[in-house]
Every structure is written in C-alpha cells, then in structure tokens.
Amino acid sequence: MNLYELTGELLKAQTLLEEAENVEALELSLFLEFERDKKLEAYLYLIKNFRALAEARKEEAKKLRESAQWAEARVEKLESYVKNCFLPGEKFVCPIGGFSWRKSTACESLDMDKAPEEYIELIPKILVSKIKEDLKQGVDVEGWYLKDKQNLQVK
C-alpha cells in the first residue's frame, strides 16, 4: 500500500474507532499508523538523500564552472598573446586550424550617461517584497493580497 492509500485507510479506521470503540478497530488503527509511520520515515530518507545529492551536484557544478572560467581566461590570454605577435593582414594555416584577421565594427561610447532616451531600454521589475511589506502595514495595493500558506518543513 502506498502512503496515500495508507493515510486514507487510517482515516477510515480512526472514524470507525470513534463510532464504535472495539478492539479490532483499535488494532487496525494502530497497525495502519505503524505502517504509515514506516512509509513516512522512508520518504524522509529519500528526501534527505536527494537533497544531499542535489547539494553535491550544485557543488560539483560550481567547481566545473570555476574550471571553465579558468580555461576561458587562459584562452583569452593566449589569444591576446598571439594577437600581439601576429602581423596585421597575416594568415597562418595548419592541419588543426589557423589564424587570420577579420574586420569588424564595434559601437563604443565616451560617456554612457549621455545616451539619448530613445536608445535606453528599461526593464520593469515588480518589487514583490515591497508590495508584501505595504500590504502587511495595511496599504491597499490593487490586484494584490496576502495569502497564508502551510509549507512542509523537512528536518
């Protein structure tokens, strides 16, 4: 029986126990409660194991990101060195690849603060924490309300 079924059967047994206090209903209720507790303990083990696995993978991903950043920085340094040693217009080709120059155009600014409004993009961001704070203080914010929730806490 899965946890959902056990919980349903336990509620039925407890209702039966409340209606007619007999030994069989009590035994069934205790048995179902014991089985449900075993299932809950198993779920707790699973949750804790998966949480630990997720944390370990996050740490591994962090180390891989740091390693990739180091490699990218190394590539930039090597490319800079070759760029300084490679003559403009020169080409170099070998079996694994090559070096050559390509012309490009970049747009640069002397002062970013002087950019005209038509070239500035503003991305709106809703300040949910500010709205929550105002609602708690009794301010009416149209379209927003506070909702009390029950969150499962795993210890």
Kindly give, in sequence order, each residue whose CB lies less than 8 Å from that of residue 6, ignoring residues fewer than 6 positions away: 32, 35, 36, 39
CA distance 32 to 38: 10
- 8 pLDDT band, cuts 50/70/90, is confident
Of 46-50, 89-93, 106-110, 130-134, the one with minimum mean pLDDT is: 106-110
Least confident of 11-25, 106-120, 132-146: 11-25
Residue 153: pLDDT band (50, 70, 90) is confident
Going from N- to C-terminal start, the domains of the chain cover 3-101
Q: How far apart are CA 41 and CA 60, in angstroms?
A: 28
pLDDT at 62: 97
Question: Which candidate, 25, 26, 29, 38, places its Cα nearest to that of 10?
Answer: 29
Q: d(Cα 124, Cα 143) in Å, to the nearest integer?
A: 17
